[in-house]
Structure 1
Amino acid sequence: MTYSVIEKQKINGVDLSFSINKQTNSNKPILLYLHGEPGDSCIPLTQKFNSELEKEFIFVNLEQRGSGLSYYKFSDSSKLSIEDIVNDIFVFINYLLKRFNQEKVILVGHSWGSVLAIKLIQNHPEIILKYIGIGQVINMKKNIEYQQSFLKEKGVAEKIINFEDEKALIADSLSLTRLIVKNGGSLYKQTNYSKLIFPFLFSKSYSLKSLIHRVKGSNQSIQYFWKELMDINFEEIDHFSIPIYFFEGRHDYHVSSEMVNEFSKKIKSSVSLVWFENSGHFPQWEESQKFNQCIIDICIHNDC
């Protein structure tokens, strides 16, 4: 097993932390991972479950501004938007390309990170070789309908969502997601996130202070970005200028994998859907061995 190290780089005036292989071979392809939620930084999880990728790639996990090891308190006057985070990633990618004398990166985006990735692909496809979307977001408002349908099948009373009031929208949609988790629609056959919490408690990369910052970073990122996230709708897209791969848990009702299935059938460019039969919203950690091997097969051996 290999282990990454933590580095920092100032991007758009903010110190951003990221994990990267030790003694990196600069000839390996760059694989950049974008975490979800928003604010759900996850370096301890990729170090535990995805270190196999460090053998074949320059594997980088960026903790986005205000999140985890990149935490700082957003000011009351901050007018941050999704495009600000996308621009951070664009600048960071160019830093990596210059550092390793390469022209493109392979991009992996999970959940919220998949929103950032699609927007980046739309704006700057020239710096991305391939894209792998996990728990891909397509239409956030329609996703609530899928969540409600899943809970109805489980016999759970319908949760009314107030779309008109921003604070109520955040509270209602997060409450709905907690019900999804509790009823096994997020982690397959699990009713809580214990599997994803323990790696943080035993991580050498995260101190107690870092764990506190992770919670604070997640809370503030949700407050700043959730309303804009709920307006995301990619359904009108039918073509990408780069190869696209969707890695979807068959039992993902957190962000509906069935919606991704329907979306992928409409794409006229190169797209592949890889199913993970024993996963929900987190196949990269629920079926990590298969996930890692699929990444290697697609990106190194060109075999899907």
Structure 2
Amino acid sequence: MLRSLCLSLALMLPVSSALAAEPAADPYAQGRALVGDIQRIVTPNGVQETFEVTLGGARQVVNVRGADRDNPILLFVHGGPGAVEMPVAWSFQRPWEDFFTVVQWDQRGAGRSFPLNDPKALAPTLKPERYRDDAIELIEQLRARYGQRKVFVLGHSWGSIVGLMVAMKRPDLLHAYIGMGQVIDFRENERQGYAWVLDRARADGNAEAVKALEALAPYPGEGAFAIDKMSTQRLWSIHYGGLAAGRDNADFYFRAPRLSPEYTPADVKAWGDGSAFTITTMFPQLSDVTFAGVTRLDVPVVMLLGRQDYTTPSSITEAWMARLQAPSKAVVFFEHSAHLPMVEQPGLVLQALVDRVRPLARPR
């Protein structure tokens, strides 16, 4: 199995050994139970449920939480492919649930959805358009299940490719589209991220990093992306804070599932297995993903960007938003965040969702 399993944006991120190999005993069971009890939804009109849906012929797992089911739905489309957010959401999502009914969805081949389908049968279906259509099917089911006319879609990293494609194809389903760690042009994303981390390594006098990064040149190059090259680039990008500002590793993020009430150790293993499966199957397809030519969307757009994000450089999205025509648009920067503002600056992300996003909901 690849050492780099869990991703953000179809980008290889090295997983800590703790996630890759859980101990035979489960020392975190009591902690998970405590977190689950603290976060239990007890309001009379609240919702807290996990269920399976079939989307595009594939069984997939959905978790829905909110203090008032009459609040607007916010569908979080996770990164990767395969980097599920459901087991990390406990660390930042609970305050969102006072204002939204929040949906976490383990996409096809990912997390708790991975063991539900035959990988050999699933592999030919792993294409961006299929994920987009899965999301549209899920939105339709959520609207019917909870009596909502429209929903919010928040796409993070790889999920921002899926979410933006949904906004382009079915704007009628959305109150607004929210991007976080937004991908606009995948190849340009890689070019800028590589140049940044190589500059940082040279300035730091890090001979090991410089040698490893210079060996990748030309990066990302022409044609399909190479997984091994991107894995090396991400390793050093994480080291210099391109994933989480001020941090030289991602352990805090990848170890969070240990305390997730929604994930058992077996589910955590499925996360790693599904991530390896989806990235090796899909990665060559993603090199030409670009929205650079999109100049209009028929739905409000809000971008929540980490100023220090060099996993998906935020300057690319900022320039694209300046060109975009939409019913309304806004860019919110988080100055002390990189690619994970929801866990790096959770209070300010909540404020942005309440002040900039929630007012865009229309009555049912």
TM-score when normalising by structure 2: 0.78
Q: Secondary structure at the match of 1:27?
A: coil
| Aligned residue identity for 1:61 | Q
For residue 74 of structure 1, what is the aligned residue in structure 2? 119
CA distance in 1, matches of 2:253, 2:96: 19
What is the CA distance between 1:174 and its match in structure 2?
Answer: 2.2
In the alignment, structure 1 segments of 5+ residues that lack a partner are: none
CA distance in 2, matches of 1:59, 1:29: 9
For residue 46 of structure 1, what is the aligned residue in structure 2? 89
For residue 268 of structure 1, what is the aligned residue in structure 2? 325
Give per-residue Cα distances to partners, 1:226-272, cap 9 Å, x unaligned. Answer: 12222111111111101101110010001111111111111122221
For residue 18 of structure 2, what is the aligned residue in structure 1? none
For residue 192 of structure 1, what is the aligned residue in structure 2? 249
CA distance in 2, matches of 1:162, 1:107: 30
Runs of 4+ residues deviating >6 angstroms? none
Give per-residue Cα distances to partners, 1:62-93, cap 9 Å, x unaligned. Answer: 11011011113520673221111111111111
Give per-residue Cα distances to partners, 1:139-164, cap 9 Å, x unaligned. Answer: 11111111122123211533324656
CA distance in 2, matches of 1:261, 1:150: 17
For residue 7 of structure 1, what is the aligned residue in structure 2? 51
What is the CA distance between 1:204 and its match in structure 2?
Answer: 2.1
CA distance in 1, matches of 2:242, 2:173: 35
Give per-residue Cα distances to partners, 1:115-155, cap 9 Å, x unaligned. Answer: 00111111111101101100000111111111122123211
Contact 2:307 2:334 in 1 (8 A): yes
Is 1:126 the counterpart of 2:126? The answer is no
Q: State which structure, 1 or 2, has the greater radius of gyration over its C-alpha atoms.
A: 2
| Aligned residue identity for 1:148 | Y
Q: Which moved more, 1:267-276 or 1:130-139?
A: 267-276
For residue 106 of structure 2, what is the aligned residue in structure 1? 63
Contact 1:200 1:211 in 2 (8 A): yes
TM-score when normalising by structure 1: 0.93
Q: Please give the residue correspondences for 1:152-301 in structure 2 after superposition, counting only pairs within 5 Å.
A: 152-154=198-200, 155=202, 156-157=209-210, 158=214, 159-160=216-217, 161=219, 163=221, 169-269=226-326, 270-301=328-359
Contact 1:45 1:285 in 2 (8 A): no
| Aligned residue identity for 1:48 | S
Q: Which moved more, 1:103-112 or 1:70-79?
A: 70-79
Q: Secondary structure at the match of 2:242?
A: coil
| Aligned residue identity for 2:95 | E
Give per-residue Cα distances to partners, 1:14-59, cap 9 Å, x unaligned. Answer: 221122116x633210110000011100112212211111111111
Contact 1:114 1:136 in 2 (8 A): yes
| Aligned residue identity for 2:332 | V
- Identity across the alignment (%): 24
* Distance change >3 Å, CA 224–CA 182, structure 1 → 2: same
Paired positions, count: 301
CA distance in 2, matches of 1:116, 1:244: 15
CA distance in 1, matches of 2:83, 2:122: 23
The alignment's C-alpha RMSD in Å is 2.0
Q: Secondary structure at the match of 1:300?
A: helix
CA distance in 2, matches of 1:144, 1:301: 35
| Aligned residue identity for 1:74 | P
